[in-house]
């Protein structure tokens, strides 16, 4: 596992941008299929939840990307400080997304499950995209 993470840190910025773009496009495509399936099974609230979940995951990714760009643009010094800042902001965002997902699940099961499904779709596609890029570049898991 550490070998995969080491290779991930060595990826070129343009490769990461393509990886993120591919993940977002794939998530949208799979999301459309999931929404159609939810509607076919008479669960419009789940369909809305899937859209909300995917939107939250994509928004989180955009905030992370913007945070990294902002820190790199400022030329922040210590890598340890940068990682701590990103980790803290990311943890808050993920905590907020989790609270929203649980709250929606308690309010309406179909809506909450849809949100969770949207988040899961995004994360699975992100992991697949990362693994694919690492394998193509000669890394091992």
DSSP 20-78: HHHHHHHHHHHHHHHHHHHHHTT-HHHHHHHHHHHHHHHHHHHHHHHHHHHHHHHT-S-
pLDDT of residue 132: 87
Query: Rounded to the nearest 10 degrees, how much is the dihedral formed by the CA atoms of 20, 23, 25, 31?
Result: -140
Confidence of residue 59 (pLDDT cuts 50, 70, 90): very high
Question: How many residues are listed for the chain in this entry?
Answer: 141
Render pLDDT for 75-133 as a digit per residue (tens, 0 to 9): 555 667 667 777 888 889 999 999 999 999 999 999 999 999 999 999 999 999 888 88
pTM for this predicted structure: 0.80
So where are the chain's domains? 11-136
Q: Are 89 and 95 in contact (CB under 8 A)?
A: no
pLDDT of residue 89: 85
pLDDT of residue 37: 96
């Amino acid at each position: 596992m550490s070998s995969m993470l080491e290779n991930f840190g060595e990826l070129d910025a343009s490769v990461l941008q393509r990886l993120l773009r591919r993940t977002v496009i794939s998530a949208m495509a799979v999301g459309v299929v999931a929404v159609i399936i939810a509607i076919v099974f008479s669960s419009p609230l789940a369909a809305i939840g899937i859209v909300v979940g995917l939107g939250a995951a994509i928004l989180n990714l955009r905030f992370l990307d913007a945070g990294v760009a902002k820190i790199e643009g400022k030329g922040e010094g210590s890598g340890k400080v940068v990682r701590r800042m990103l980790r803290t902001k990311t943890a808050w965002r993920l905590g907020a997304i989790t609270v929203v997902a649980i709250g929606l699940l308690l309010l309406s099961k179909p809506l909450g499950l849809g949100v969770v499904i949207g988040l899961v779709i995004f994360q699975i596609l992100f992991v697949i995209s990362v693994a694919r890029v690492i394998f193509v570049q000669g890394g091992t898991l």
